[in-house]
Chains A and B, each alone.
Chain A
Amino acid sequence: MLGTGLIQGLMETAKNFVGSYHDEARLVTVQYPEEKIPAKENSRNFPFLVYDGEDPQAGLRCVACQICEKECPPKCIYIVKSKDKKPDYTGKAQLYPATFDIDVSVCMSCQICVEVCPFDAIKMDQVFELSTSDRFATLLLKKTTLAKPNAYFHQIHPTDAAEIDGRLAEEKRKAEEKAKAAAAAKAAAAAAATTGTDPKAPPVGGAAKSPTN
């Protein structure tokens, strides 16, 4: 009959009205500044630099190879190589970034820097509360603000971080074995040199050549 639909609708809205006061599950609103939904594991916005160990600057995995700088489509990364070298996680001496800036007002969150990085040094962050009153200085993130510990990476992207840690440990182990083998070969060569000449022994520096991918 005419009008029954109206009554049904009124009952439905009355149910919602009353229900929303004693059934918290009905209210889907997340009251943002007070409550937050934890970010999804694969969510991303801007890059950050991963460091190992205690010291944020000494522990940076970045070797200033500048691949990300070259690959970055909007060119928001700016890197200056260091003059000196310092040892990386395998103990090999590497360059490090003297300057590493990311302009997050230019960054388009494409993750290409992460894809191309051979050292797993740059990863995507989940921090989104970046609003500032200044359009220039505060949105140009410096090396000091970009550096975040590996533990933080584990926290935001656990699966990814565990996989990378495993791979790095494997590489480190291989490098150590190779170094050990090289040392052994060197010792053998030295022994051979004392006993006689062996021209086929490898040159000294060859064993330390990077075994990386």
Chain B
Amino acid sequence: METLDQIFVLAKHWLVARVPEPLAWLATILLSIGPLITVFASCFAITTIVERKALGRIQNRFGPNRVGPFGLLQPLADGLKMLIKEDLVPAQADKVVHLLAPFALVVPAWLTFSVLPFGRNMTVIDLDAGLLFFFAVGASSELAVFMAGWSSRNKYALMGAMRGIAQMISYEVPLVLSTVAVVMSVGSLSLPSIVEAQSAYVFGMPTWHVFTPWGLSGFILFLIAGAAEANRAPFDLPEAESEIIAGYLTEYSGFKYALFFMGEYLGLFAITGMGITLFLGGWTAPVSFLATTPSWFWFFAKFGAIIALFIWVRGTVPRLRMDQLMKFAWKFLVPLTLVNLVVAAFWHFSGTWQFPGAIFARWLLGAGFIGGAYVTLGRALHTNQFPPRVYAYAE
């Protein structure tokens, strides 16, 4: 079991030992990057087909079922199509920026994976400020979005880029604020140590952060803000087909379009991996008697579950309007994440309570506080609707 858990680490060490000494550093790097890119690129391919299938089923359709058995080779066909498509660049476009934009999106998206712990001892770089690195690099995708929108010299592209940046910057705030609660609780920005902090078991049950009042609400807030950060439905306004064609992707075709598409999914994967690491105990098993099973299995099981949740939500919720999107971020998510911080602080300091039933009291107070804020904010925002429309000239 121990070997199976560490099989990838051991394989890497075995391979590095076969490489001559002066090149060992290069082999180490390549053997970290290669599997990462392979695994998540295939995750991207699998997600596209699973998503299309699931969305089809949600709408009582079959979904793609023509290429290969059950349509499972559809990603292959899509990729081939993307590769052999003509790469059109508008005559008026800023050609250099237009070319660089897809790379500026994909490269940071890959970089964010370097700090995520995929299993025990399976972190590419264990940075002390891993969380900070993750969000700093992740935020640079906004630049790529604006590069794409601006260089295309197309009004839809520019509008898409403006929307994209407004949305990403707005949702960055609740996203980071919801993770601060975890940092407060653990006292570290290093992602492996955040996972270690959740790896204990009480009565056979895990001590994941999601099983605390602040963790549960923080996880939900993180998923909502993360979906918006990854331009994921229902927050896919930057690419709203019905309004602005494809947003900042309008003037992209062929493989550059595929790169953008991949960058977006990679962003979603990174957010998912981060959510798992922060709130769902990373690679730890959900029950103590399964603790000996491979850690990477649990990471990818949780990963699949969260991706499925995102697909489910995409198939359910219609797209927001721009003002609703902004209102939701600033008037609802940001106050709730701030309240969540207070609850996290309360949970941390009430950890010393010794009287019997203290855990229930802590839960009741914490959940009551965040729930009360949720209901109050919901009511307050709901009554603040548009006034009844007056038709001045209709009389």
Chain A residues engaging chain B, CB cutoff 8 angstroms: 1-3, 6, 9-10, 12-14, 16-17, 19-21, 26-29, 31
How many chain B residues touch the partner (CB < 8 A)?
19
Docked Cα-Cα span, A26 to B59, in Å, equals: 9
Question: In the complex the two chains form, is B378's CB within 8 Å of A27's CB?
Answer: no
Q: Which residues of B contact A17 (CB under 8 A)?
A: 54, 57-58, 312, 315
Assess whether B382 is interfacial by the CB under 8 Å rule. yes
Assess whether B110 is interfacial by the CB under 8 Å rule. no
Q: Which residues of A contact B59 (CB under 8 A)?
A: 16
Q: Which residues of A contact B60 (CB under 8 A)?
A: 16, 19-20, 26-28
Chain B 51-84 against A: per-residue CB contact (8 Å), 1 yes, 0 no?
Answer: 0001001111110000000000000000000000
CB-contact partner of A2 in B58, B312, B317, B382, under 8 A: B382
Chain B residues engaging chain A, CB cutoff 8 angstroms: 54, 57-62, 312-313, 315-317, 374-375, 377-379, 381-382
CB-contact partner of A13 in B61, B312, B381, under 8 A: B312
Tell me whether A20 and B57 are in contact in the complex, defined as CB-CB below 8 angstroms, given that A1-B378, A2-B375, A31-B62 are known contacts.
yes
Question: In the complex the two chains form, is B316's CB within 8 Å of A9's CB?
Answer: yes
| Minimal beta-carbon separation of A24 from chain B (angstroms) | 11
Q: Which residues of A contact B377 (CB under 8 A)?
A: 2
Docked Cα-Cα span, A10 to B309, in Å, equals: 10
Give the 6 A-B CB pairs with smallest separation, nearest first.
A2-B378, A9-B316, A13-B316, A13-B58, A20-B57, A26-B60
| Minimal beta-carbon separation of A87 from chain B (angstroms) | 54
Question: In the complex the two chains form, is B61's CB within 8 Å of A6's CB?
Answer: no
Q: Which residues of A contact B317 (CB under 8 A)?
A: 6, 9
Tell me whether A10 and B61 are in contact in the complex, defined as CB-CB below 8 angstroms, given that A2-B375, A2-B378 are known contacts.
no
Question: In the complex the two chains form, is B313's CB within 8 Å of A2's CB?
Answer: no
Chain B residue with minimal CB distance to A8? B316
| Minimal beta-carbon separation of A6 from chain B (angstroms) | 7
Looking at B60, B312, B317, B378, the one whose CB has the most chain A CB atoms below 10 A away is B60
Question: In the complex the two chains form, is A1's CB within 8 Å of B375's CB?
Answer: yes
Tell me whether A27 and B61 are in contact in the complex, defined as CB-CB below 8 angstroms, given that A9-B317, A10-B313, A17-B54 are known contacts.
yes
- Known A1-B378, A9-B317, A17-B312; 19 more pairs at CB < 8 Å: A1-B375, A2-B379, A2-B382, A6-B317, A9-B316, A10-B312, A10-B316, A13-B316, A16-B57, A16-B59, A16-B60, A17-B57, A17-B315, A19-B60, A20-B57, A20-B60, A21-B57, A26-B60, A28-B61
Question: In the complex the two chains form, is A16's CB within 8 Å of B58's CB?
Answer: yes
| Minimal beta-carbon separation of B228 from chain A (angstroms) | 15
| Minimal beta-carbon separation of B171 from chain A (angstroms) | 18
Docked Cα-Cα span, A2 to B375, in Å, equals: 7
Question: In the complex the two chains form, is A3's CB within 8 Å of B316's CB?
Answer: no
CB-contact partner of B374 in A2, A10, A14, under 8 A: A2
Chain B residue with minimal CB distance to A31? B62
Docked Cα-Cα span, A14 to B219, in Å, equals: 22
Q: Which residues of A contact B374 (CB under 8 A)?
A: 2
Q: Which residues of A contact B61 (CB under 8 A)?
A: 20, 27-29
| Minimal beta-carbon separation of A8 from chain B (angstroms) | 9
Chain A residue with minimal CB distance to B309? A10
Chain B residue with minimal CB distance to A15? B58
| Minimal beta-carbon separation of A89 from chain B (angstroms) | 49
Q: Which residues of B contact A10 (CB under 8 A)?
A: 312-313, 316
| Minimal beta-carbon separation of A80 from chain B (angstroms) | 46
Q: Which residues of A contact B378 (CB under 8 A)?
A: 1-3
Question: In the complex the two chains form, is A29's CB within 8 Å of B62's CB?
Answer: yes
Chain B residue with minimal CB distance to A33? B66
Docked Cα-Cα span, A126 to B312, in Å, equals: 42
| Minimal beta-carbon separation of B272 from chain A (angstroms) | 18
Chain A residue with minimal CB distance to B56? A20
Docked Cα-Cα span, A32 to B381, in Å, equals: 49
Q: Which residues of B contact A19 (CB under 8 A)?
A: 60
Docked Cα-Cα span, A1 to B378, in Å, equals: 8
Q: Which residues of B contact A31 (CB under 8 A)?
A: 62
CB-contact partner of B316 in A12, A26, A27, under 8 A: A12
Question: In the complex the two chains form, is A14's CB within 8 Å of B312's CB?
Answer: yes
Looking at B315, B379, B382, the one whose CB has the most chain A CB atoms below 10 A away is B315
Docked Cα-Cα span, A3 to B317, in Å, equals: 12
